[in-house]
């Protein structure tokens, strides 16, 4: 069996016929038919049901289709990996605002130092919009806090990060009712704050919805209310002197950052290089000592 056999099998499957596949492959139809027959003989199973109009996969064909796709993708990635010494071209990544503020500068600095010929576009989006952009193939990778909820997406790596409650030194945190500074309703930090407040017996009937992390921090420093953010974001020199931080109960005080791509994306060299740099940087700055390998 050769890789060319797999390409022919996939073409017949995707085009649903030998004639259409031969046109796509720019070869004569009898050659396609003969190659499929030889492949079936080699495997010892029938891959297609044939009729006068089209072909459909048998149960064996459906199993083989998944393996053939995977082999072709891996062969492409193996070839591209050999080209890593001359990485160039466009790369589009998506990040949430908190990831952009806490981690992205070091990631980009490291990446550009190693791969200066890559043109990087960064999109800063809320979690669900970022996942949608991965689903429609408008970006190569996403780095975000919400988990994958779609079988079309793959989490390559995950890193736990510690969350803290943040407020100004003069904010009346022990009042009967505090003001919560929150992002969108889908933000994982918002839910973490709700869970922690319930666990700690803190009442918050007032929610101030804000659109970006800089505004949230400014309002926290200005004693407008209380928020929840990654500890790494708050311990920076220009923030830490102006706020108090309170640890959460352990189970509410962890959020996970995920490196996500579409399962059918072909990892170009610049994308493979980006994933490698992200892992190195996140391993070095993550509050956890162990990286969780994505399934």
Q: Using CA atoms, how far apart are residues 99 and 223, in angstroms rounded to an integer? A: 24
Q: Which of 116-125, 192-201, 242-251 has the highest mean pLDDT?
A: 116-125
Pairing of strands 118-124, 153-167: unpaired
Give Cα separations from 5 to 79, 103, 138, 153 (angstroms).
18, 45, 31, 28
- What is the residue range of 111's domain? 86-159+257-293
E strand residue ranges, 82-117: 89-95
Residues 91, 102 within the same domain? yes
Three-state secondary-structure class, residue 51: coil
Q: How many CA atoms lie within 13 A of 289 on its CB side?
A: 0
Q: What is the CATH number of the domain that holds 227?
A: 3.40.190.10
Residue showing tokens 């579409």: 262
Higher local confidence (pLDDT), 184 or 209: 209
Domain boundary among 81, 114, 140: 81
Tell me the pLDDT tens digit for each residue of 146-195. 777 778 899 999 988 888 899 999 998 888 889 999 876 667 778 788 88
Residues 286, 145 within the same domain? yes
Domain count of the fold of the chain: 3
Residues 155, 73 within the same domain? no
**pLDDT at residue 266 tops 90:** no
In 10 A of CB 246, how many CB atoms?
14
Is 40:47 a contact under the CB 8 Å cutoff? yes
Domain boundary among 38, 57, 81: 81
Residue showing tokens 């990831």: 99
Q: How confident is the model at residue 53 (pLDDT cuts 50, 70, 90)?
A: confident
């Amino acid at each position: 069996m050769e890789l060319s056999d797999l390409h022919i099998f996939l073409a017949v499957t995707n085009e649903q016929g030998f004639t259409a596949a031969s046109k796509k492959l720019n070869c004569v139809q009898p050659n396609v038919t003969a190659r499929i027959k030889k492949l079936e003989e080699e495997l010892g199973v029938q891959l297609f049901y044939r009729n006068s109009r089209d072909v459909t996969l048998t149960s064996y064909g459906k199993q083989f289709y998944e393996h053939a796709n995977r082999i072709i993708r891996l062969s492409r990635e193996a070839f591209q990996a050999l080209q890593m010494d001359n990485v160039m071209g466009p790369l589009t990544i998506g990040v949430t605002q908190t990831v952009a503020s806490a981690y992205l500068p070091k990631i980009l600095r490291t990446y550009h130092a190693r791969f200066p010929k890559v043109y990087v576009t960064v999109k800063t989006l809320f979690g669900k919009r970022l996942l949608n952009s991965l689903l429609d193939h408008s970006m190569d990778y996403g780095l975000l806090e919400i988990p994958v909820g779609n079988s079309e997406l793959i989490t390559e790596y995950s890193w736990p990060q510690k969350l803290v409650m943040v407020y100004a030194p003069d904010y009346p945190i022990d009042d009967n009712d505090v003001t919560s500074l929150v992002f969108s309703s889908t933000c994982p930090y918002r839910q973490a704050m709700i869970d922690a407040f319930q666990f700690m017996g803190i009442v918050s009937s007032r929610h101030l919805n804000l659109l970006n992390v800089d505004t949230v921090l400014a309002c926290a420093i200005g004693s407008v209310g209380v928020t929840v953010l990654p500890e790494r974001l708050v311990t920076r020199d220009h923030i830490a002197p102006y706020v108090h931080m309170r640890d959460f109960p352990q189970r509410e005080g962890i959020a996970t950052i995920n490196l996500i791509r579409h399962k059918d994306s072909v990892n170009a060299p610049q994308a493979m290089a980006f994933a490698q740099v992200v892992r190195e940087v996140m391993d070095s700055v993550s509050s956890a000592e162990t990286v969780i390998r994505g399934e």
